[in-house]
Amino acid sequence: MKNNVSPNDLMVFLTVLNEGGFRAAAKRLGVAPSNISTTVSRVEAQLGLPLLLRTTRSVRATEQGRALADRIQPLLAEIDVACLETANSADRVQGRLKLNVPGAVMPDILPPLLVEFQRRHPQVEVEIVVENNLVDIVAAECDAGIRYGTSIEKDMISIPLGPRVQEIALAASPAYIKECGHPRSAAELTEHYAIRYRLSGGPLLPWTLRNGEETVQVRPMTRLVLSVNALNTGLSYARAGLGLIATFRNWLEDDFHAGILVPVLPDWWAEQEGPRLYYPSRFTSTPLRAFIDVCQSPTRTANKW
């Protein structure tokens, strides 16, 4: 059977699904809603089955419509990327780079990379979307994402970005130590107040400590709970003496040197794999390839924080 469905008609069908309705698709494409409805009906007639279930309030895909959308979405995206790469094939890299990143990389890991990237490629507009939950970067129309290793989907390519290993350090203000004492063992932490972080809609981030081959999880007395979306704000409360904090060591170095915070149980600080840049395996845009080059440059790959 020969396929007579126009790629342009398929694009209209996808737009209806992505925009959530005929009127929204018509607005996006700059045509009349009746034209959108006629196009979708034509595709359904050519294929011989319904692709969308319509009510007065909503539109959703049938099982066959969803299967079709899942197959053609990446193909049409590749066409867009191929056209964009052609436009960017001149000597200077240009266009847009959109990254989806967690808040943990915003204070100190991402800035030097972006500064170097835009020094090399000033014609690229960079957009950063900060989200701590794992997202479908393709559906979110992002070129790439940054996450910590265990949460990256298996069908993605990933490379190290920034520090290869990060220590989770414990710290407190001198005022807190003077008032409540300095913990001398992991067990004593259960008698101390702490500033904790909670995953969106989930549990508190655990305090996992490691000393040689021994690993323990401790539960300090929680005095303040912050969302991981406010990860770097916890330091303000630790500096004010509200309690102990467990966070990235690289965030604490300046405070340690200035005496604003003091290390707590450094022999028990655990290490974890640093963040990784991940992106779909099928294609990459020219700006993304240029950003990957920056992340993999010798001065970056040699860095262990």
Residue 259 resides in a domain: yes
pLDDT of residue 89: 59
- pLDDT the model gives residue 216: 94
Q: Output the domain CATH number for residue 278.
A: 3.40.190.10
pLDDT bracket for residue 283 (50, 70, 90): low
Averaged pLDDT, 36-59: 87
Q: Are 37 and 102 in contact (CB under 8 A)?
A: no
- Do both 140 and 265 map to the same domain? no
Percent of the chain clearing pLDDT 70 (strictly above) = 90
Buried/exposed 198-219: b ≥16 CB within 10 Å, e otherwise? eeeeeeeeebebbeeeeeeebe
Do 117 and 32 lie in one domain? The reply is no
The mean pLDDT value for 220-227 works out to 92
Print the domain residue range for 44: 7-87
pLDDT at 8 over 60: yes
In this predicted structure, what is the pLDDT of residue 303?
45
Same domain, 223 and 190: yes
Q: 91 Cβ partners below 8 Å, 6+ apart? A: none
Q: What mean pLDDT is predicted for residues 207-233?
A: 88
44 and 193 share a domain? no
CA distances from 63 to 2, 15, 51, 66, 67 (A): 22, 17, 8, 5, 6
In a domain, 1, yes or no: no
Report how far apart, in Å, the C-alpha atoms of 292 and of each of 44, 126, 266, 297 are.
42, 14, 34, 9
Q: Which of 87, 109, 136 is the last residue of a domain?
A: 87
**Given a cut of 60, is residue 262 above it in pLDDT?**
yes
Residues 156 and 178 in one domain: no
Residues 140 and 73 in one domain: no
Number of folded domains that form the chain: 3
What pLDDT sits at residue 169? 95
Could you tell me the pLDDT band of residue 302, with boundaries at 50, 70 and 90? Answer: very low
Domain shared by 263 and 127, yes or no: no
The CA-based angle 122-164-145, given to 5 degrees, is 50
Task: Please check whether residues 155 and 278 belong to one and the same domain.
Answer: yes
pLDDT digits (tens, 9 = 90+) for 128-184: 998 877 777 877 888 999 988 666 777 788 888 888 888 999 999 999 999 999 999
Residue 2 lies in a domain: no
Contact 168, 270 (CB under 8 A): yes
Higher pLDDT, 301 or 133: 133
Query: At residue 172, what are phi and psi to the nearest 5 degrees?
Result: -155, 160
Q: Taking the complete model, does pTM exceed 0.85, yes or no?
A: no
Task: Tell whether the model's pLDDT for residue 211 goes beyond 90.
Answer: yes
How confident is the model at residue 304, as a pLDDT?
42
| Bridge pairing between strands 214-218 and 275-280 | unpaired
Specify if 152 maps to a domain.
yes
Alpha carbons within 13 A on the beta-carbon side of 201: 2
Q: pLDDT-based confidence at 192, cuts 50/70/90?
A: very high
Whether 269 and 169 map to the same domain: the answer is yes
- Compute φ and ψ for 14, nearest 5 degrees: -65, -40
CATH, residue 176: 3.40.190.290
Residues 126 and 194 in one domain: no
**Residue 231 token pair:** 């990860």
Q: How far apart are the first and last CA of the chain?
A: 59
Does residue 286 sit in the same domain as residue 141? yes
CATH number where 14 lies: 1.10.10.10
pLDDT classification of 298: cutoffs 50, 70, 90:
low
Judgement on whether residues 185 and 216 belong to the same structural domain of the protein: yes
